[in-house]
Amino acid sequence: MPEYKLFAQRVGLVGIVNLLVSLRGLILLPILTKTLGTELYGVLTQILVTISLLLPIGLLNLNTAMIRFFAGEKDKDKIRQEFYAVFTLITLFSVLLASIFFVFSEPLAIAFFGGSSSIIFVRLLSPIKILSVSYLICILTFC
């Protein structure tokens, strides 16, 4: 009987956390629009969409290759070596993309993100891209 109680508690906890994560946008939206203003909030939204569009390019589609080839492998040392090789390649490519975005932040901000007031957001795109690609490849390894 205690196993069922523990299981029910864990399922309830997961349900509550999912509910709070779902309400995050509802709570965060008024705070962001109040502090940033509508124009900068639009720029922030464009930056977040740009990051989500650049993720597949930054991953070089190696996440699906990792899932495919790591599934049948039994040797943990070989999996570790291959993961580090893929992680290094993806991180270096993300650093290259991020440095391109950082160098050309002013023309990109003027052309795509509404003017020179959003240069700081485009510059922040660079480290966020590196971190998001690294985070995603680590999470996908455990899936």
C-alpha 10/C-alpha 12 separation (Å) is 5
Quick one: pLDDT at residue 1?
Answer: 63
CB burial of residue 58 (10 Å; 0-12, 13-18, 19+): buried
Quick one: pLDDT at residue 143?
Answer: 62
C-alpha 97/C-alpha 107 separation (Å) is 15
Cα 25–chain centre separation: 17
For residue 55, the tally of other CB atoms under 10 A from its CB is 15
Quick one: pLDDT at residue 96?
Answer: 94
Residues of the chain with pLDDT under 50: none
C-alpha 80/C-alpha 141 separation (Å) is 10
DSSP label of 38: H
Quick one: pLDDT at residue 33?
Answer: 79
- Please state the pTM of the whole predicted model: 0.72
